[in-house]
Amino acid sequence: MFQIRTDLAVETSEKRPDGKEVSGIRVEKKKRGEDVVITKVCIDTQKAAKTLGKPRGTYVSIEADQMMEEDSGYHREISEIFSEQLKTFLPKDYRNAKILVIGLGNREVTPDALGPKVIDHLFITRHLLEEFGKYLVELDQCCSISGIVPGVMAQTGMETVEILRGIVAETKPDLVIAVDALAARSIKRLNRTIQITDTGIIPGSGVGNYRNAITEEHLGIPVIAIGIPTVVDAATIIADFCMGLMEENKSEPEEMEASVRSLISPKLNTMYVTSKDIDEAVNRLSFTISEGLNMTFVPRV
C-alpha cells in the first residue's frame, strides 16, 4: 500500500500486513539486565529478503531506554554491550586487521551528523603504525584504524561508493565499518536502538543491485554497518497513523487506501520527523558508538 520505510530489521520482522509468518527468517530476543533488549534477526533466504525488503544477512539490534539519559555511566555500559555484540561480527584475528571506518551522512543536518561525529572521536592509528610500527609500545594490541567523512552527493557531486571504492583500492583495508543515521518506522525506537549488520548499506528497498550500495559486492571487502535511527520518514508516520485509524474504525481497506493515497503529496517524501532535542541525542550517541569502537580496536589507550 504505502511504502513503509524502515532501516531496522527488527521493525520489518515485527509485523507483516497480512499477519502471516514469513519463512526464511529467524528472530532471537534476549534481555540484558532490566533495560537492554538484544534482538538478532537472520534473513536466510532470498525469498525472505524480498518479502521483507532487506538483504540476506544478520542484524543485531540493541535497544535501551538509558541511551536517552544524560548520565555518562549508562552510556559506558551501552558502549560495552555494543563492543561485545560487534565482536560477534568480526573475524577471530581482527586484532591484526586494517579497518576503515566511514562516517556517512551530512554533518550540517543535525540528525544526519551521527556518522561524521563518530569519526571525530575515534582513535585513528593507521598513520602512527605505518610510521612507527607495532613496536610503539602502547599500541601493540591495536588495530590499524583509518577514518573518512566522505560527505553527501549534493556536497561532492560523487556517489559515496565511488569515493570509498577509490580509497579502499588505494589504502587496502581488510574491513570497512560504515556508521550512519537510520530511519525507523516508529518514533518509539528513535535515539534508543543500535543496529549492527553484515549486509552493508543498501538504499531504497534494500534488495537488488543498486549501483550506490556500500556493500562487500561493491567494495571487495566485508562491510559492517552500524546505525542508530534518528528520524522517521514523514510519509511513513502519517500512513501508519492513518492505517491505525482505519483499523480502529473497521473501514473498507480499499476505499480508505485510496483516500490516504490522495492525501499524501509528493512533497511529503522530502520530509522527515525528528525529536526536538536531537542535537544532544546525536552528541551523546556518537560518543557511545566511538567509545565502543575505541574499546574494541584500540584497547588500553
Residues that bind a second copy (CB under 8 A): 70-71, 106, 108-110, 119, 124-128, 144-151, 153-159, 162-163, 165-171, 187-188, 234, 237-238, 241-242, 244-245, 248-249, 251, 255-256, 259-260, 262-265, 267-268, 270-280, 301
Start-to-end CA distance of the chain, whole Å, equals 51
Q: How far is the CB of 239 from a second copy (least distance, A)?
A: 9
Report how far residue 47's alpha carbon sits from residue 68's, in angstroms, rounded to the nearest whole number. Answer: 36
Place of cell 483499523: 247
Report how far residue 284's alpha carbon sits from residue 90's, in angstroms, rounded to the nearest whole number. Answer: 25
CB of 128 or CB of 207, closer to a second copy: 128
CB of 26 or CB of 188, closer to a second copy: 188
Report how far residue 103's alpha carbon sits from residue 118's, in angstroms, rounded to the nearest whole number. Answer: 7
CB of 60 or CB of 190, closer to a second copy: 190
Report how far residue 47's alpha carbon sits from residue 281's, in angstroms, rounded to the nearest whole number. Answer: 37
Q: How far is the CB of 283 from a second copy (least distance, A)?
A: 8
Closest CA to 97 of 86, 106, 110: 86
Q: How far is the CB of 23 from a second copy (least distance, A)?
A: 32
Give the 3-state secondary structure of residue 146: strand
The alpha carbon of residue 45 and the mean position of all alpha carbons in its chain are separated, in whole angstroms, by: 21
CB of 55 or CB of 151, closer to a second copy: 151
CB of 40 or CB of 107, closer to a second copy: 107
Q: How far is the CB of 33 from a second copy (least distance, A)?
A: 20
